[in-house]
C-alpha cells in the first residue's frame, strides 16, 4: 500500500505546486498566502509518504484529498484534479491493501511449506 499511496502523493505534490503558480495570477490572492498554503500542502504530501502505514495516515490522506478538491474555489481546474486524485487515492488504498494481504498470504504459505519440508 505504501508504494501506491506514496506515488499518488508525489503526483499531488507537483499538481499543488502548479496550482500555486496558477493561483498567483489571481489578483485577489496575495503571493505569500498562495505559497504559504501551497507550501504547507506540498510538505504534507511528502510527510504523508512516510506516514501512510501508520495509524491515521490514510485518514490524513483523505483530508488532503478533500482540501485539494476544495481548492477549486480558487483554481477551478482543481475541482477536476482533486476528484481525479481522490479516485487515485481510493484506488491506491484499496488495491494496496489487497496486495499487502496477498503478500502476507504468500509469505505464510512459503513459511509453512518450509516448516513442513524440515
72-102 tens-digit pLDDT: 999 999 999 999 999 999 999 999 999 989 9
Residue 118 has a pLDDT of 61
d(CA 18, CA 11): 11
Enumerate residue ranges in the chain where pLDDT < 70.
Answer: 115-118
d(CA 84, CA 45): 16
Residue 117 has a pLDDT of 63
Phi, psi of 38 (to 5 degrees): -65, -45
Residue 81 exposed, middle or buried by CB count within 10 Å (0-12, 13-18, 19+) = buried
**CB of 93 within 8 A of CB of 59?**
no
Query: pTM for this one?
Result: 0.85
d(CA 33, CA 47): 21
Amino acid at each position: 500500500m505504501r508504494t501506491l499511496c506514496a506515488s499518488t502523493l508525489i503526483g499531488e505534490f507537483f499538481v499543488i505546486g502548479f496550482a500555486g503558480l496558477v493561483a498567483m495570477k489571481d489578483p485577489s490572492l496575495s503571493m505569500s498566502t498562495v505559497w504559504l498554503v501551497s507550501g504547507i500542502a506540498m510538505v504534507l504530501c511528502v510527510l504523508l509518504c512516510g506516514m501512510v502505514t501508520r495509524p491515521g495516515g490514510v485518514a490524513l490522506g483523505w483530508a488532503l484529498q478533500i482540501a485539494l478538491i476544495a481548492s477549486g474555489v480558487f483554481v477551478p481546474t482543481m475541482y477536476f484534479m482533486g476528484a481525479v486524485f481522490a479516485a487515485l487515492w481510493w484506488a491506491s488504498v484499496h488495491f494496496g491493501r489487497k496486495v499487502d494481504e496477498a503478500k502476507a498470504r504468500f509469505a505464510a504459505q512459503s513459511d509453512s511449506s518450509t516448516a513442513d519440508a524440515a
